[in-house]
């Protein structure tokens, strides 16, 4: 099954937890994803370095893929409220920081770490 078919058939993992919080059509999502530059919206790590960082840090396989983060956790998953995020940034941002606050934190503290290790 190619990527497009996987996205179209996707049921969004744990969707039962978020049914009312997901307002994204799979076709819209596919177009959005294909258009996006494959970097973390927060720390700007490129997709090509995720596997290398995973190897360096001996973390779980989840880290080698971008996650979809809600920029505003008080709003549902919608096309204007999602961004690509590395697993680290998504977890660290949680519901504590706003999108803008975490961009600043990631650029100041996280990005220098992965740049230094490359």
For residue 34, with 0-12 CB atoms within 10 Å meaning exposed, 13-18 middle and 19 or more buried, which class applies?
A: exposed
Q: Kindly list the domain boundaries of the chain, sorted by start residue.
A: 22-116
Is the pLDDT confidence value at 43 over 90?
yes
**Which range is least confidently modeled, 18-27, 31-40, 80-89, 98-107?**
18-27
pLDDT tens figures, 49-87: 887 765 545 555 555 778 899 999 899 889 999 999 998
> What does 36-101 look like in DSSP terms, one character per residue?
S-SB-TTT--BHHHHHHHHHHHT--GGGGS-EEEESSTTS-EEGGGEEEE-HHHHHHHTTTS-HHH
pLDDT (0 to 100) of residue 55: 53
78: left (phi over 0), alpha (psi -120 to 50) or beta: beta
Q: Does domain 22-116 have CATH number 3.30.70.120?
A: no
Whether pLDDT at 12 is above 50: no
């Amino acid at each position: 099954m190619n990527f497009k078919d996987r996205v179209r058939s996707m049921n969004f993992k744990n969707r039962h937890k978020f049914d009312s919080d997901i307002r994204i059509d799979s076709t819209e999502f596919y177009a959005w994803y294909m258009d996006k530059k494959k970097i973390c919206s927060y720390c700007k790590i490129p997709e090509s370095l995720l596997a290398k960082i995973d190897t360096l840090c001996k973390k779980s396989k989840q880290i080698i893929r971008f996650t979809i983060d809600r920029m505003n956790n008080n709003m549902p998953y919608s096309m204007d409220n999602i961004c690509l995020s590395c697993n680290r940034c998504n977890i660290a941002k949680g519901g504590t920081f706003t999108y803008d606050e975490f961009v600043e934190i990631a650029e100041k503290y996280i990005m220098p770490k992965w740049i230094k290790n490359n």
